[in-house]
Structure 1
Amino acid sequence: MDAGDLATWVGSSFAAIAAGATIWTLKSQRDQIDEQRQFIAEQSATLALERAELWAAAQDRKIAQARQVGMTVQLWARSGVPGDANGEPIPDTFRIEVRNLSIEPIHEVTVRFGEQEAHEASAAVETDLIRRGLTVVTDGPRLNVPVPLVGAGRIYLFTSGPLFEEVDRHRPALLFTDNAGVRWRLNEHGDLREFVPAG
């Protein structure tokens, strides 16, 4: 065997070994990169789920106070309004009872009938009738609408003007701002939505 052939053979062998080591290193690095991509994808999915859960929890906190505000709607006959043929008073206004059952106040409280605002409001005074086991809510002093503040656990009564086409066509909707500054709209069916004024 010639020394030149031996050197070529040894050099070729080392080159082949080096090429094999390079291929093995590249494959190993490619495998590591694939594992890292898979890990990053799993982490991204986990973070997306956590973000969605945090967002849902924030939404629940955001709406928690608003869900504790309610209203009931009644047709009401004002005193002094002529009655029907039987002398019964004829309902000619809406009376809306707004209850803030949350532990925080609500602000800028009003009831609207389309674009028409409630005619007047009053703080409610609850009177217990022990003999009958009833609680009667009566009007307190008259207030301007919108009412700037309704305290926690308080009841306010809102009265429409006399029923006419505009009021009769548009059912009452309660508008209020929660203690976090979010404006809400609640209709008589309990549909609660964040309120964004037009314009």
Structure 2
Amino acid sequence: MNAVQWGDAPTWGATLFAGGAAWFAYQTIKSQRQQITEQRQFIAEQAANLALERIELRAAAENRKWSQARQISMHHRESGGSTDGEGNITENDHWEVFVRNSSDSPVHEVDVRFGTAYLAAEVYSVPSTALSGNNLGELWARPIHLLGPGRIARFVSQSWPAATVHNNRPQLLFADDSGIQWSLDSYGKLEEIPAGDSL
């Protein structure tokens, strides 16, 4: 049996130690890479969840913003002025517009525009008796600065020839309880009026 060459033993020991250290370093780097990959996946999932939550919050805020405005309604009709010998209306000469606040909060600066330039000639509060009886209600100034929950107002245009009446359809303008300004046209199209534009 040959004697161990001790001169080579320290080299072997150093080689084994270096190999163990390299293996340990490799395992550490591999573990860190796996952790970084998992962290990136977690961050990506969290970012996606936050984006979805933001979308849902925006949708809920948008729905809340439109909620009151959608509860303000306008019913309109052309009304007559000319009658035949039997009292039947033969020509319509003005608009009557009924505005109802069906929301739980007041609306502000309520007004009706006819066509592009005409404003209501008369505005009345509408008590419940006015809907079925002859009570016209109390005469109000326009615009109505505050129309409370459940209240109805009636706007009456000036009198025109029949063709002019039809060409000057009503448009409702109001601000909700948050101060957002809205317009509602005679076809039921509700739009937010951009900030800075006047009612």
**SS of residue paired to 2:103:** coil
Alignment of 1:1-199 (within 5 A): 1-77=4-80, 81-84=81-84, 88-89=88-89, 90-113=91-114, 114-127=116-129, 135-136=132-133, 138-163=135-160, 168-196=166-194, 198=197
Distance 1:82 1:115, change over 3 A: closer
Deviations 1:131-160 (A, max 9, x none): xxx834742232222111111111100112
Asked if structure 1 preserves the Cα contact closer than 8 Å seen for 2:108 and 2:145, the reply is yes
In structure 2, how many angstroms separate the alpha carbons of the residues matched to 1:137 and 1:54? 48
Structure 2 equivalent of residue 131 of structure 1: none
Asked if structure 2 preserves the Cα contact closer than 8 Å seen for 1:125 and 1:137, the reply is no
Asked if structure 2 preserves the Cα contact closer than 8 Å seen for 1:126 and 1:137, the reply is no
In structure 2, how many angstroms separate the alpha carbons of the residues matched to 1:5 and 1:16? 16
Which has the higher mean CA deviation after the structures are superposed, 3-12 or 99-108? 3-12
Asked if structure 1 preserves the Cα contact closer than 8 Å seen for 2:93 and 2:165, the reply is no
Runs of at least 5 residues in structure 1 that lack an aligned partner in the other structure: 129-133
In structure 1, how many angstroms separate the alpha carbons of the residues matched to 2:147 and 2:137? 14
Distance 1:19 1:115, change over 3 A: farther
In structure 2, how many angstroms separate the alpha carbons of the residues matched to 1:136 and 1:23? 92
Q: Tell me the TM-score normalized by structure 1.
A: 0.84
Aligned-residue RMSD, C-alpha: 2.4
Which has the higher mean CA deviation after the structures are superposed, 7-16 or 148-157? 7-16
Deviating 4+ runs (over 4 angstroms): 84-87, 164-167
Distance 1:72 1:9, change over 3 A: same
Q: Report the residue type matching 1:192 in the other structure.
A: L
Deviations 1:94-148 (A, max 9, x none): 11100111121110001123243223211113328xxxxx834742232222111
- Count of aligned pairs between the two proteins: 191
In structure 1, how many angstroms separate the alpha carbons of the residues matched to 2:191 and 2:49? 30
- Compute the displacement of 1:166 (Å): 7.1
Q: Report the residue type matching 1:147 in the other structure.
A: I
Which has the higher mean CA deviation after the structures are superposed, 186-195 or 137-146? 137-146
Asked if structure 2 preserves the Cα contact closer than 8 Å seen for 1:116 and 1:166, the reply is no
Asked if structure 2 preserves the Cα contact closer than 8 Å seen for 1:112 and 1:174, the reply is yes
Distance 1:46 1:76, change over 3 A: same
Asked if structure 2 preserves the Cα contact closer than 8 Å seen for 1:118 and 1:160, the reply is yes
Larger radius of gyration: 2
